[in-house]
A and B are shown apart, each in its own frame.
Chain A
Amino acid sequence: DVKVTQSSRYLVKRTGEKVFLECVQDMDHENMFWYRQDPGLGLRLIYFSYDVKMKEKGDIPEGYSVSREKKERFSLILESASTNQTSMYLCASTKPFRANYGYTFGSGTRLTVV
């Protein structure tokens, strides 16, 4: 089975901290994504990456950055955490567009910023 693993299920961080959310996939997928999910707003795309060291902004990139140094790992970085970044963060991966392949999601990280 394809696996997307997010390193933490729950995190509590203080305002102003630098926060790293890690995501690892084991199926050699080229594309990886970070979404956040909030009640009433649904899933919104933060960033995605279609290759090592490549990144594209999604709909809500402000306050976030990403890193993809290896194909299997995609990190989301909150440069200075704020309370409005309290949310559920979901990582996903898939093959390239032309493969016409579905997404696989991780189990999510519930981040609380206090």
Chain B
Amino acid sequence: KQEVTQIPAALSVPEGENLVLNCSFTDSAIYNLQWFRQDPGKGLTSLLLIQSSQREQTSGRLNASLDKSSGRSTLYIAASQPGDSATYLCAAPANQAGTALIFGKGTTLSVSS
């Protein structure tokens, strides 16, 4: 059964730092992986979707990579800002046949000014 793990659970950095959030998954036969952002008490906002045929996907200051062979994905945030403070979740499909996503427990990021 697919399991998704995110490390670290929490991260505090000063404004301007570049940072990396890590995600690992156990079943590498995935067709995509998705990163989300969640602000306190709110729903999830999709940040990036990486197809299995891609190795990277970029949106503004965000860059996500996918390495299926090692079961890992990373989310790189460049030049962090206080507005980036939120919980970041990665999610992978439960299996090849179904579309239900399995989520990691998230990394809570705090960027201080």
Give the B-binding residues of A (Cβ under 8 A). Answer: 6, 31, 33, 35, 40-43, 45, 48, 50, 56, 58, 88, 90, 92, 94, 96-97, 100-108, 110
Identify A102's interface contact among B49, B98, B100, CB under 8 A.
Answer: B49
* Interface residues contributed by chain B, number (CB under 8 Å): 24
Q: Does B76 contact A (CB under 8 A)?
A: no
Can you list, as one digit per residue, whether each of B20-50 has a CB less than 8 Å from chain A (1) or not (0)?
Answer: 0000000000011010100001111110010
Identify A108's interface contact among B32, B36, B42, B49, CB under 8 A.
Answer: B42
Q: A41-B105, A102-B32, A105-B44 are in contact. List 7 more A-B contacts (CB 8 A).
A: A42-B103, A45-B100, A45-B102, A58-B100, A97-B99, A103-B46, A104-B46
Number of A-B residue pairs, CB cutoff 8 Å, is 60
- Residues of chain B within 8 A (CB-CB) of A40 are 105
Q: A100-B31, A108-B42, A108-B43 are in contact. Are A43 and B99 (CB under 8 A)?
A: no
- Residues of chain A within 8 A (CB-CB) of B98 are 97
A42: nearest residue on chain B (CB-CB)? B105
Flag if B42 contacts A43 (CB, 8 Å). Answer: no
- Residues of chain B within 8 A (CB-CB) of A35 are 103
What are 21 inter-chain pairs, A to B, with CB distance below 8 A? A6-B43, A42-B106, A43-B91, A43-B103, A48-B100, A50-B99, A56-B100, A90-B43, A92-B44, A97-B97, A97-B98, A97-B99, A102-B46, A102-B49, A103-B44, A103-B46, A103-B91, A104-B46, A105-B45, A107-B43, A108-B43
Q: Give, as a whole number of angstroms, the nearest-CB distance from A111 to chain B.
A: 13
- Residues of chain B within 8 A (CB-CB) of A88 are 41
A4: nearest residue on chain B (CB-CB)? B43
Q: Does B101 contact A (CB under 8 A)?
A: yes
Complex interface residues of chain B between 28 and 74 (CB less than 8 A to chain A): 31-32, 34, 36, 41-46, 49, 51
CA distance A108 to B36 in the complex (A): 14
